[in-house]
Structure formats: structure tokens, C-alpha cells
Amino acid sequence: MSLLTVGTVAFDAIETPFGKTDRIVGGAATYISLAASYFTKKTAIISVVGDDFPEESLGMLRSHGVDTGGIKVVQGGKTFFWSGRYRNDMNSRDTLATELNVLADFAPVVAEEQKEADFLMLGNLTPAIQRSVIEQMRRRPKLIVMDTMNFWMDIALDELKETLKLVDVLTINDEEARQLSGEFSIVKAAQKILTMGPKYLVIKKGEHGALLFHGTSVFFAPALPLEEVFDPTGAGDSFAGGFIGYMASTRDISFENMKRAIIFGSAMASFCVEKFGTERLLHLTQEEIDNRVQDFIDLVQFDISLE
């Protein structure tokens, strides 16, 4: 086992200015694992669903090499449900509903063979569940990456701060960074968050790219200017999946390699937003990924020689 992911496997109902969907399969762990599957095949998910969750969708994950044995199916239970509506700029969204359902009393169990995973991705989920997974590992993974969101800052801030102390990399968006730190300036927010536990902080800025902070160093990855942005749902998770999938495939946890991982993460996010839900992540080719990464290189490459 190389990459262990904990996170939601969910039903989502999404509204964008271009259309609306009714209960499609989503969830943080779904997007993360699909994106990561293009980099590493030895991955597994720990999550929970109800018996309303389609077996074909678990099969879809398995066909991407994801071990779904750790996704507990609660008989008579209902799967986590989230619904959101995007504003016209597609960069901001309103959550219309979050129904925890089977997630409310989920106690994750890390299987023996997963306890030595080298890369641990804590997808967006109850911070106490994220922590319980770290505590069950037999030895500390080489890298622990954690994602979270404002919902957990609103209802479980103390637990969230406890989990933060145990991770290496935190990924959040700019508004969440402001909420968590109480600072308006993104740079001040980053400095403060880096004292809370993580040694690396990724601040995602949607169509304006992402920043990686470490000590006094900063790295910036743009987002690709795309003609079609259909549905941003899962972009953050696809980013995280590409990021940790690349890290797990190279097994190099240096800051220099993290910069490359951020570009691969951004490439996976750029695919994700081109279609509704997980659709665009289902059948990518290596050539498409390579071409997309080349687009990123071309976008920011310039020659200046300073005497």
C-alpha cells in the first residue's frame, strides 16, 4: 500500500450557471483517488456509505486500481449528501445542504496492510476521524497531507486544530485560510497557519491558481485559463489527488518535488472542471496529462536575463 486516502464518498447535487445535476456520485475521497490513480496504482480508501450507494460506483473506483475494501457499507444507512450552487463567476459557491447521515457515527478502522502506507491523504472529513486514522498507523507515513473546509472550522474548530498538529501539508482555499488564521493578508495568514502544525501550506485560489508556503519560501502555480469551466466541484480534491499521487509515485518529499507535484495537481484540477462531477477524470490518457502539464510549462515560461 503506497497511498491511503480517507475522505467522503458521497452523493452531490450541483447547480452551476450551465446546468444542474441530481444526486451524482462525488465526495472528496472519490475525486482524490481518481486523480491519484493516474500516478500510483497502490491506493486504498477508508470511508463509509449507506446501502443506497451504487455498487457500480465502487466498481468504477476498483477499475482505477483503488482498493475499496475500507469503504464500509452501512445497511439501512444513507450516504453523505452535499448540495451546492455556484455563482456566475464559478469561483464562489453556496452550500445548500450538508447531510452527514452515515458519516455522523463513523469510526474508521485501518486494516493491517494499510497501517504502513507511506503516503496518507486526509481528505475533507470530520477532523476527529482524520486524526483517528493517523493514530492507527503503525509507523508515521513519509508524508501526511490534509484538506479541510470552512464547514469543519465552523462546527469543530478545536478538533481541527488538534489534527493540524499532526500533519505535514495542509491544503485550504484563501477564504478558509483567512477564517482559520483571523488574518486578511494571505501571507500573514500563511505565516500563522505554519505555526499550527503543518510545515507546508497550499492555499488554493480557484481560477487564480495556488500558492505553496514553506518557511519563508513561496511557490506559485497558475490555473490554466480554460475556455470551458463547467463544474468546479471536486477541483480542490483532484488537485490534492494529483499532488499526493505524484509525490507517492516519486517518493521524494523535498520542497523542489512538491513544486512539481503542485503543477500535476493543478493539471488534474483543470481536467476536473471541464465536465460535470467526476466524468472528465474517468478516462484520461497519459498523453492528455502530458500535454496539459506542457500547457502549464508554456504558460509561465519566459526569458529574462538580469545583468
Check: CB of residue 214 under 8 Å from CB of residue 6: no
**Could you tell me the maximum CA-CA distance found in the chain, to the nearest angstrom?**
70
Contact call for residue 12 and ligand AMP (CB under 6 A) = yes
Provide the minimum distance between the beta carbon of 91 and ligand AMP in the complex, in angstroms, as a whole number.
12
Element of type H or E holding 153: helix 150-155
Smallest distance from the beta carbon of 161 to ligand AMP, in angstroms?
A: 17
Which of 10, 129, 134, 169 touches ligand AMP (CB under 6 A)?
10
Q: Pick between residue 57 and residue 124 the one whose CB is nearest to ligand AMP.
A: 124
Among 5, 16, 27, 53, binds ligand AMP (CB under 6 A): 27
Which position among 8, 33, 79, 171 is part of the footprint of ligand AMP (CB under 6 A)? 8
| Cβ closest to ligand AMP, residue 118 vs residue 238 | 238
Per-residue contact track with ligand AMP, 218 to 257, x per CB under 6 A?
---------------xxxxx--------------------
Smallest distance, ligand AMP to C-beta of residue 250, A: 23
Nearest to 237 by CA among 15, 1, 25: 25
Mark 144-183 with x for binding to ligand AMP (rule: CB under 6 A) and - for no binding. -----x-x--------------------------------
C-alpha distances in Å from residue 247, one per residue of 36, 48, 120: 10, 26, 11
- SS3 for 30? helix
Residue with Cβ nearer ligand AMP (67 or 231)? 231
Whether the CB-CB separation of 137 and 120 falls below 8 Å is answered with yes
Specify the DSSP class assigned to residue 235.
H
DSSP 91: S
Rounded least distance, CB 76 to ligand AMP, Å: 21
Contacts of 273 (CB under 8 A, 6+ apart): 226, 229, 230, 231, 232, 235, 280
Instruction: Calculate the CA 272 to chain-centre distance.
Output: 12
Query: Which positions lie near ligand AMP, rule CB under 6 A?
Result: 8, 10, 12, 26-28, 82, 98, 124-125, 149, 151, 233-237
